[in-house]
C-alpha cells in the first residue's frame, strides 16, 4: 500500500474516487495525470468522449456546464469533487450581459454541482476559484491574504466570489467539506494567453520597452498548483478553508522576461521606458488592462497553505519555466 506522509497526518492513497471537472483543460489534464500516478481512481466529466485519456480514467458525458446539468451519473461512488470547469475571464468579451453569463456558469452551475454532490454523498468539494476575488492589483509589500474584506466588481471575480459564499453556506448546512483555492496566474507546459505571448516575444527576439518595470507579481507553477490541489484532497485541516497559493517567488515583469530568456538560452532585448509613458500610450490604444498586468503588482500571501497544511512547492520557478519552454519548442517542431 502506498502511503503519503506529511507533517502531522497520513493520507492513504488508492482509496478515493475523484471527479475532475474541466479535465481536458490546462490544469485539468495535468491534475488527472498526476492523480493517476498517485493511485487515485479518476472520473472525468466531459462534453464529448476523448481518446486523450488513459483507459483507466472513467469518462462520463454530462454535456455543457449549466445550472441544469445532471451530474448524478458522474457522481456515482465519488468521494471528492475537484471543480475546475468555469467560464474564464477573457479580453474583449462580447456577451451583452457579462455578469449574467459569468454567474450562470461560475456561480449557479457550480452550486448546482455542489448540491447534487451532497445528494450523492460526496465528502469533500474542492473549488478552484481565482485571485480576482481579492482584487486586481496590490500595493507594494501588501500582498493579498485570505482575511481581506473585499467584494469584487469585476464580473468574473464577482461570480467566483458568489460561488465561494454559496459553497461555504452549503458546507454549514449539510456537512459536506469544502476547500477553496484562489490561484494567481498559472504557468507551465501548454500555457496560453498573455504568458504564451510573452514567450513568443522573447523567442522571436522582439525588442520590448519593459526593461525597467519594478512591480512584483506572484505566479503559481502548474506542478505546484496540481500538488496543492492533491494535498487538499485528504488533509483534515483543509476543511472549509480558503487558500491563496503561489510559488513563493515573486518577480517583476522585467525579471520574468529575463528568466524566460534564460530558459530559451537567449538574450533579452529590453529597453527602459518610464512606466508612466507605457501606461499613457497603452491607454490611447485601449490596452490599459494589458499594461496593468505588465506593470502593476499582484502579490499573494500563501503562508497559510504552508503553515496550516505543511505544504511546500514541489518545483521552482526556473525549473517550471525550463519545462514550459521545452514544451513550447517541441510544439513548434511538430
- At residue 246's C-alpha, the angle toward residues 176 and 92, to 5°, is 90
Distance CA 192, CA 197 (A): 8
Which of 84, 315, 36 has the alpha carbon at shortest distance from 181?
84
**C-alpha cell read off for 30:** 495535468
The β-bridge relationship of strands 177-182 and 124-128 is: parallel
Residue 288: φ, ψ to 5°: -60, -40
Per-residue H/E/C for 217-280: ECEEEHHHHHHHHHHCCCCHHHCCEEEECCCCCCECHHHHHHHHHHHHCCCCCECCCCHHHHHH
Catalytic residue among 40, 156, 187, 328: 156
Other CB atoms within 10 A of residue 260 CB:
22
Which of 327, 88, 331 has the alpha carbon at shortest distance from 187?
327
Which of 17, 21, 108, 26 has the alpha carbon at shortest distance from 61?
21
Q: How far is CA 301 from CA 82, 134, 229, in A?
A: 23, 11, 17
- Contact call for residues 309 and 245 (beta carbons, < 8 A): no
Distance CA 172, CA 302 (A): 25
Q: Indicate if 161 belongs to the active site.
A: no
Counting Cα atoms < 13 Å in the Cβ hemisphere of 170 gives 25
**Dihedral sign, Cα of residue 137, residue 140, residue 142, residue 145:** positive
- Three-state SS for 112? helix
Active-site annotation, residues? 156
Amino acid at each position: 500500500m502506498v502511503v503519503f506522509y506529511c507533517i502531522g497526518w497520513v493520507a492513504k492513497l488508492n482509496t478515493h474516487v475523484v471527479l475532475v471537472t474541466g479535465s481536458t483543460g490546462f490544469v485539468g489534464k495535468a491534475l488527472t495525470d498526476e492523480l493517476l500516478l498517485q493511485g487515485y481512481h479518476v472520473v472525468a466529466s466531459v462534453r464529448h468522449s476523448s481518446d486523450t485519456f488513459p483507459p483507466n480514467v472513467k469518462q462520463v458525458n454530462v454535456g455543457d456546464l449549466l445550472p441544469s446539468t445532471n451530474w448524478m451519473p458522474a457522481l456515482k461512488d465519488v468521494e471528492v469533487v475537484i471543480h475546475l470547469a468555469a467560464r474564464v475571464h477573457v479580453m474583449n468579451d462580447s456577451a451583452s450581459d457579462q455578469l449574467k453569463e459569468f454567474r450562470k456558469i461560475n456561480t449557479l452551475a457550480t452550486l448546482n454541482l455542489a448540491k447534487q454532490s451532497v445528494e450523492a454523498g460526496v465528502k469533500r468539494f474542492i473549488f478552484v476559484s481565482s485571485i480576482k476575488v481579492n482584487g486586481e492589483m496590490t500595493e507594494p509589500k501588501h500582498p493579498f491574504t485570505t482575511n481581506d474584506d473585499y467584494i469584487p466588481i469585476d464580473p468574473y471575480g464577482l461570480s467566483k466570489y458568489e460561488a465561494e459564499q454559496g459553497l461555504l453556506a452549503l458546507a454549514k448546512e449539510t456537512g459536506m467539506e469544502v476547500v477553496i483555492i484562489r490561484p494567481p496566474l498559472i504557468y507551465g507546459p501548454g500555457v496560453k494567453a498573455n504568458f504564451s505571448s510573452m514567450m513568443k516575444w522573447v523567442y522571436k527576439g522582439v525588442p520590448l520597452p519593459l526593461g525597467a518595470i519594478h512591480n512584483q507579481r506572484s505566479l503559481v507553477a502548474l506542478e505546484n498548483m496540481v500538488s496543492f490541489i492533491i494535498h487538499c484532497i485528504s488533509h483534515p485541516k483543509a476543511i472549509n478553508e480558503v487558500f491563496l497559493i503561489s510559488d513563493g517567488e515573486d518577480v517583476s515583469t522585467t525579471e520574468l522576461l529575463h528568466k524566460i530568456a534564460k530558459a530559451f538560452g537567449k538574450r533579452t532585448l529590453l529597453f527602459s521606458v518610464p512606466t508612466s509613458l507605457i501606461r499613457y500610450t497603452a491607454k490611447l490604444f485601449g490596452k490599459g488592462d494589458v499594461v496593468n498586468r505588465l506593470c502593476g503588482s499582484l502579490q499573494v500571501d500563501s503562508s497559510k497553505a504552508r503553515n496550516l497544511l505543511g505544504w511546500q512547492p514541489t518545483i521552482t520557478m526556473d525549473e517550471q519555466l525550463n519545462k514550459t519552454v521545452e514544451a513550447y519548442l517541441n510544439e513548434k517542431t511538430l
